[in-house]
C-alpha cells in the first residue's frame, strides 16, 4: 500500500535526502524570521493563535474527515487550511493536554499517569505528580513572555492548587473548569468525595457559575470578551479553547437534541462503513483501507431488535448534537474574528484530545448499590429517562459501539493505545499554512510538536533553564516546514514516537508500531503492526517479523530509560479480561443460525396438503 505517510516519508528522507532537509531548515528559519520580525511598522503582525480542542472528539466525526455529523465551521477551517491524517495525541485527556502545553513527554511533565489513576508505585515519583509539574515551562508562559496575550477557556485538568491553575501557568485571562469532566449546566461533579466541579476565572476560584451557564456557550462568550477587552493594543493573542464538548455526559440544549432522530437506528456497522467510504472518497484514508474488527463483545446491530437499536442510536443522536453544538460555537468565534478583522491573521489548530470515549465512565464513578458514590449518583445523576437525556442530572455516553464509529476506521478507543485511542484528526489553517487550501497531508505528527511549532511562529524560543532549573528537552518537532509546504512530515523514518498510559505501551517508527495492552483488548504481550498497510491493526505481525519486533522492543526500552517510565502496579484495565467475554474473531455472518433468511420454495412447487 502506497500510503500518504509512505509518500511523505519518502519525500523527506528519500531521493531528495540532505538537500531536502536543508531546504526544510531554511524554509523553517524563513518562516520564523518572517513571522517574528520586530514590530516595525512595515513588519507583518505576528499571527493570533487559536487552539480548539474537542474533548473526546473522534477522528471521523468532522465532515471533513468523513463524518455525517454536520460541522460546517470546522470543515470551513479544513477547507481554508490543511487536514492531517497521521496525527497522534495521547490516549486520554490530561496526558495529551500536558504535552500540548509543555512539549515534553508525560513521564517528565507530571502526567505519567492521570491524577485519577496514579498507581501505588508511582506515588511521589517525579513525573507522576498528576498535575503539570514545575519542572516544565508552559507554552502560554513563553508566548506571554514573547508579547502575546494568552487566554484560556474550557477544561484544564492539569491541577487545581493555586500554583497549578491556568493563571499560574501562563494564562493572562481564563475561564476554566479544572476537573476532567462534569455537568455542562452547573457545578455538579461525579463522586461523593468530590461533589463539585471547580472553576476559575482570571485566577480566582468561582463560588458560582454565571447565569445562563452552558459550558460550550459560556466558554465561547468568555473568550470573545477576552479578545475584545484587549484588542487594539497591537498585541497578538494565543487562545486555548479547550472545550468540554463532546465529552460525556451529553448535556445539550433541547433544540440540539433532535436533529438526527432515527438516523442512527441503522446501527454502528452501517455508519462505520459509510464513514470509511467517505474517507476514501475524500482522500482521508487510502483506497483499500479495511475497517477494524467490531469489538468482539458488541453484537451485530442487524441482529438487535429495533427498540434497543433506537435507544442506543439515540445516544449517538445526542453525541452528534454535541458535536454540532460545538461546531456552532466555533462558528461564533470565527464569525467574531472575521467581524473584527482578525480571522485572516489567525492560525487555527483543531483536534480531539484522544480517542473517542468507549469506556463506561459513569459505571466507574457511580459505584455499586450501597456505596456512597451510588447514593450520590442517585441524588445527582439519576435523570435516566431517554426524554431527559441532555438535561441536568442525566448521564449519557454512547458506548464502545459508537466510539468505534467516531474512530473509523481504527481499532479501539480512548484509554487504549491502538490507533483508535491515540490517532486523531488535525486541522491547521491560517497565515502559517502555505500548502494548498483544503489539502490533506499524511506526515507523522504529534501533539508535542505544537509547542515548538508555535514558539517558532511567535518568534519565541525554548529556554534551557527556568529560574535556574534545567528544562527537559522538547520531545516534539516543529511543523514549520510542513506547513510551509517544504516538507511532507516533521519526522524521518528513523524518528520514534512512544506512549505509555495505564500500563499499556506503544512505539511507532516509520510504518511500524509495537503495542502492548492488557488482555483482552491486547494480548498481554507485545504485538507488532504495520500501521501504514494495516491502520486498523488487524494483523499482528510479531511472529512473522521477530527481528523487527526485537528492534522495536529495544526502542521501547530506550524510551523507558530516557523518560523514566514507571509501569503502574495498578491499572484501570487490570481486571478487564475478567469483565469481558472471551475474545473471539469478528467473522461477519457467523453464526448462520440466526442470520439465514426464511427459505422460500419455488412458486411452481407450492401445494396444499392432500386430504
Partner 1 sequence: MRNEGWFRDWIGRNGVALATLVALGVLCAPHASAQMPARFYWKTLSGANAVPLIVNSMSGDTNPFDPALTVTPGANFEATLAMAGYARTFTLFDRSAMAAIILPMGRISGEASVASQTFSQPANGFGDLTFELDINVLGPPAQKNLVDALRYEPGFSLDVLVDLVVPVGEYDASQPLNLGQNRWYGRIGAPIVWQLGPWVQGRRTTLEFLPAVWLFGDNDDYVGQTLETDPMYQIDAHLTRDFTERLWGSLDGVWYTGGRASVDGVEGEKLDNLAFGLTLGYQIDDNLGLTVGYKSTVGDSAPDDLRMDGFMVSLVSGWHPLIEGAKRLKSAE
Residues in touch with partner 1 (CB under 8 A): 261-262, 265, 296-299, 305-312, 314-315, 360, 363, 383-388, 391, 397, 399, 580-582, 584
The catalytic residue among 93, 149, 329, 446 is: 93
8 Å CB contact between 175 and 153: yes
Residue with Cβ nearer partner 1 (581 or 609): 581
In whole angstroms, how close is the CB of 422 to partner 1 at the nearest point? Answer: 25
In whole angstroms, how close is the CB of 23 to partner 1 at the nearest point? Answer: 53
Residue 446 annotated as catalytic = no
Residue with Cβ nearer partner 1 (68 or 300): 300
Nearest to 422 by CA among 95, 103, 144, 44: 95
For the purposes of burial, counting CB atoms within 10 Å of the CB of 237, is it exposed (0-12), middle (13-18) or buried (19 or more)?
Answer: buried
In whole angstroms, how close is the CB of 30 to partner 1 at the nearest point? Answer: 54
Number of separate helices (H) and strands (E) present in the chain: 17, 17
Residues 6+ apart with CB under 8 A from 31: 432, 456, 457, 480, 481, 483, 484
In whole angstroms, how close is the CB of 294 to partner 1 at the nearest point? Answer: 11
The catalytic residue among 157, 243, 260, 446 is: 157
8 Å CB contact between 559 and 496: yes
In whole angstroms, how close is the CB of 576 to partner 1 at the nearest point? Answer: 12
Residue with Cβ nearer partner 1 (363 or 539): 363
In whole angstroms, how close is the CB of 387 to partner 1 at the nearest point? Answer: 5
Pairwise CA distance, residues 510 & 9, whole Å: 8
Residue whose cell numbers read 499517569: 113
Nearest to 63 by CA among 355, 300, 326: 326
In whole angstroms, how close is the CB of 254 to partner 1 at the nearest point? Answer: 8
Task: Work out the number of other CB atoms within 10 angstroms of the CB of residue 533.
Answer: 16
Contacts of 489-493 with CB under 8 Å at 24 or more apart are: 489/5, 489/8, 489/9, 489/11, 489/12, 489/86, 489/441, 489/442, 489/443, 489/444, 489/445, 490/443, 490/444, 490/445, 490/449, 491/9, 491/12, 491/443, 491/444, 492/9, 492/12, 492/13, 493/9, 493/13
Contacts of 173-179 with CB under 8 Å at 24 or more apart are: 173/149, 173/202, 173/226, 173/229, 173/230, 174/200, 174/201, 174/202, 174/203, 175/199, 175/200, 175/201, 175/202, 175/218, 175/219, 175/222, 175/223, 176/152, 176/200, 176/201, 176/242, 177/215, 177/244, 179/155
Residue 93 annotated as catalytic = yes
Residue with Cβ nearer partner 1 (43 or 261): 261
Residue with Cβ nearer partner 1 (19 or 368): 368
Residues 6+ apart with CB under 8 A from 597: none
Radius of gyration of the chain from Cα atoms?
A: 24
Q: What cell was used for 351? A: 483536534
- Name 54's bridge partners: 352
Alpha helices in 340-463 (DSSP H): 361-366, 372-380, 399-406, 419-422, 450-458
Alpha helices in 203-295 (DSSP H): 215-230, 268-282
In whole angstroms, how close is the CB of 311 to partner 1 at the nearest point? Answer: 5
Task: Work out the number of other CB atoms within 10 angstroms of the CB of residue 405.
Answer: 29
In whole angstroms, how close is the CB of 363 to partner 1 at the nearest point? Answer: 7
- Name the residues annotated as catalytic: 93, 157
Amino acid at each position: 500500500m502506497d500510503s500518504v505517510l509512505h509518500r511523505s516519508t519518502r519525500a523527506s528522507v528519500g531521493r531528495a535526502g540532505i538537500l531536502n532537509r536543508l531546504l526544510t531548515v531554511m524554509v523553517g528559519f524563513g518562516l520564523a524570521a518572517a513571522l517574528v520580525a520586530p514590530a516595525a511598522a512595515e513588519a507583518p503582525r505576528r499571527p493570533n493563535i487559536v487552539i480548539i480542542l474537542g474533548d473526546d472528539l473522534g477522528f471521523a466525526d468532522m465532515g471533513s474527515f468523513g463524518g455525517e455529523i454536520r460541522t460546517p465551521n470546522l470543515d470551513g477551517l479544513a477547507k481554508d487550511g490543511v487536514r492531517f491524517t497521521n496525527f497522534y495525541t495521547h490516549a486520554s485527556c490530561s496526558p495529551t493536554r500536558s504535552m500540548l502545553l509543555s512539549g515534553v513527554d508525560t513521564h517528565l511533565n507530571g502526567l505519567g499517569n492521570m491524577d485519577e489513576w496514579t498507581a501505588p508505585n508511582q506515588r511521589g515519583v517525579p513525573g507522576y505528580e498528576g498535575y503539570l509539574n514545575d519542572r516544565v515551562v508552559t507554552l502560554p508562559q513563553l508566548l506571554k513572555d514573547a508579547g502575546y496575550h494568552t487566554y484560556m477557556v474550557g477544561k484544564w485538568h492539569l491541577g487545581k492548587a493555586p500554583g497549578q491553575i491556568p493563571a499560574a501557568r501562563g494564562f493572562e485571562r481564563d475561564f476554566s473548569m479544572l476537573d476532567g469532566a462534569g455537568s455542562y449546566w452547573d457545578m455538579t461533579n461525579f463522586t461523593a468525595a468530590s461533589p463539585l466541579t471547580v472553576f476559575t476565572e482570571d485566577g480566582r476560584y468561582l463560588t458560582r457559575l454565571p447565569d445562563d451557564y452552558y459550558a460550550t456557550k459560556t466558554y465561547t462568550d468568555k473568550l470573545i470578551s477576552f479578545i475584545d477587552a484587549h484588542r487594539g493594543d497591537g498585541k497578538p493573542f494565543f487562545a486555548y479553547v479547550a472545550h468540554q464538548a463532546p465529552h460525556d455526559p451529553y448535556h445539550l440544549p433541547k433544540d440540539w437534541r433532535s436533529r438526527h432522530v432515527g438516523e442512527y437506528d441503522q446501527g454502528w456497522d452501517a455508519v462505520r462503513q459509510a464513514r470509511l467510504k467517505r474517507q476514501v472518497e475524500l482522500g482521508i484514508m487510502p483506497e483499500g483501507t479495511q475497517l477494524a474488527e467490531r469489538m468482539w463483545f458488541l453484537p451485530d446491530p442487524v441482529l438487535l431488535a429495533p427498540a434497543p437499536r433506537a435507544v442506543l442510536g439515540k445516544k449517538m443522536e445526542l453525541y452528534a448534537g454535541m458535536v454540532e453544538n460545538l461546531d456552532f460555537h466555533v462558528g461564533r468565534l470565527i464569525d467574531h474574528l472575521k467581524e473584527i478583522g482578525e480571522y485572516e491573521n489567525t492560525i487555527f489548530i483543531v483536534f480531539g484530545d484522544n480517542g473517542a470515549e468507549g469506556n463506561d465512565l459513569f459505571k466507574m464513578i457511580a459505584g455499586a448499590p450501597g456505596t456512597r458514590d451510588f447514593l450520590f449518583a442517585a441524588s445527582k445523576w439519576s435523570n435516566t429517562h431517554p426524554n431527559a437525556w441532555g438535561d441536568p442530572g442525566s448521564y449519557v455516553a454512547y458506548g464502545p459501539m459508537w466510539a468505534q464509529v467516531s474512530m473509523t476506521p481504527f481499532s479501539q478507543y480512548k484509554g487504549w493505545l491502538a490507533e483508535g485511542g491515540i490517532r486523531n484528526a488535525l486541522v491547521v489553517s491560517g497565515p502559517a499554512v502555505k500548502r494548498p487550501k483544503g489539502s490533506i497531508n499524511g506526515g507523522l505528527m504529534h501533539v508535542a510538536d505544537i509547542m515548538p511549532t508555535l514558539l517558532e511562529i511567535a518568534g519565541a524560543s525554548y529556554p534551557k533553564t527556568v529560574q535556574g532549573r534545567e528544562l527537559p528537552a522538547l520531545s516534539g518537532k516543529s511543523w514549520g516546514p510542513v506547513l510551509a509546504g517544504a516538507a511532507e512530515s516533521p519526522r524521518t523514518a528513523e524518528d520514534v514516537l512512544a506512549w505509555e498510559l495505564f500500563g499499556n505501551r506503544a512505539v511507532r517508527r516509520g510504518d511500524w508500531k509495537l503495542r502492548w495492552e492488557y488482555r483482552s483488548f491486547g494480548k498481554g504481550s507485545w504485538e507488532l503492526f504495520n500501521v501504514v498497510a494495516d491502520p486498523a491493526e488487524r494483523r499482528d505481525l510479531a511472529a512473522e517479523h521477530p527481528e523487527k519486533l526485537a528492534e522495536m522492543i529495544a526502542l521501547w526500552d530506550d524510551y523507558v530509560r530516557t523518560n523514566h517510565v514507571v509501569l503502574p502496579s495498578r491499572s484501570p484495565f487490570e481486571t478487564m479480561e475478567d469483565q469481558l467475554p472471551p475474545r473471539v474473531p469478528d467473522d461477519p455472518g457467523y453464526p448462520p443460525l440466526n442470520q439465514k433468511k426464511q427459505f422460500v420454495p419455488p412458486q411452481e412447487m407450492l401445494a396444499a396438503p392432500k386430504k
